[in-house]
Amino acid sequence: MACGDINGNGSLTASDILMIKKRIGSIITTFPLGDWLFNNQNIIVNNENVTQNFNGIVYGDANASYSLTDNNYFDMERNKTTTTTSLSFDRGTFSEGKWIIPVRATAFSNLGSFQFTIQYDPSKLSFENIIHWFNGIEPAIVGNTEAGKITFVWTADNKGINIDEGILCNIVFKPISSEASKISWTNNPTGCEFSDFDANIFDVALKDGVIDELTETTVNSVENISIYPNPGNGIFRLYSFNSLDTKSCITIYNSLGKLVYNDNQVLLSQNCVNKIDLSMLCPGVYVIEIQTGNEKIIKKLIINK
């Protein structure tokens, strides 16, 4: 019990489990009682050299591996091909200035716990949050203490989770750059480990992914609107080749995903030109979304001055 009692209150409680999860996910770096529990022994020294061995174990180390996050035990390359149980990144969707990247889970049986880290390019993406956990998974501990890396730690409460084919969760990013960006798995700072509800560790194939370049074909779109000049000095014009029955909503985001322009009362009539004045904005790359009913156009705007 002493090993698991990392807050020193004399018993094993849910707060101990919470802190251990945070330590595994590198959200915290130490426990209130320190790192090591020693079996202290009295030593009597009578004017001579004495060699004494002390037994110690890492606080929170219930399986006696002497480490909470051993980053060397998981062979990434081997686990990419040796099992049908897998986690992979689906192709993302871009909506309201953000990328939504699904993490797809396949052939998980009696899942009892997981810990892993994903990495991304912080010069191209900014981590926002995690949404839509698979039923029974939430809440997982999620840490983003290091730029470009996200840690996940979860344990089941009362039963294992089965996922034949489904989305484990969705990761939300704000784009900093319009360029494509790789998203992948890593053992640093939290090693990848998966177990069933009986604490038996099993292999999972981890498949890397790519977030697409941000272009006007990022989502399905109707091809009836032209934006010009692009690049431009901040004064843009929308030209509609067809008359749209309802009013359109136009939103524009900067490279950090911040909303800089919004107009939800734009009427796009056939052969009608609508002016958008962005001359007050700084030069750079922006994203414009034009929503009409269930159809959406996403295009990249470049302001040069």
pLDDT in tens, 221-237: 445 677 888 888 999 98
Question: Kind and range of the H or E element at 70?
Answer: none
Residues in the chain: 305
Alpha-carbon Rg for the chain, nearest whole angstrom, is 26
Q: What angle do CA 153, 174, 176 make, to 5 degrees?
A: 120
- Same domain for 27 and 134, yes or no, is no
Residue 112 to residues 86, 156, 199, 206, Cα–Cα distance (Å): 15, 5, 7, 18
Same domain, 46 and 88: no
CA distances from residue 231 to 49, 111, 252, 298 in whole angstroms, order as listed: 80, 51, 15, 15
Closest to 192 (Cα-Cα) out of 70, 280, 304? 70
Q: pTM for the whole thing? A: 0.60
Nearest in space to 101 (alpha carbons), one of 125, 79, 117: 125
Q: Domain for residue 44, yes or no? A: yes
Q: Who's near 14: CB < 8 A, 6+ residues apart?
A: none
- 52 and 124 housed in the same domain: no
Residues of the domain holding 243? 225-303
167-201 pLDDT, tens digit each: 999 999 988 887 889 999 999 888 898 989 988 88
Least reliable range by pLDDT among 126-135, 249-258, 276-285: 249-258
Q: What is the largest CA-CA distance in the chain?
A: 101
Last residue of a domain, one of 68, 93, 112: 68
Query: Residues 290, 261: one domain?
Result: yes
Could you report the per-residue pLDDT of 275-289, keeping only the tens digit for each? 899 999 999 989 888
pLDDT bracket for residue 17 (50, 70, 90):
low
SS3 percent helix, strand, coil of the chain, rounded to 5, is 5, 45, 50
Boundary (domain end) residue, out of 158, 187, 211: 211
Cα–Cα distance measured from residue 8 to residue 14, given in angstroms and rounded to the nearest whole number: 13
Which CATH number do you get for residue 205? Answer: 2.60.40.680
CB 218 within 8 A of CB 95: no
Q: Is the pLDDT of residue 3 over 80?
A: no
Q: Is the peptide bond before 139 cis (omega within 30 degrees of 0)?
A: yes
Q: What number is the average pLDDT over the span 119-142?
A: 91
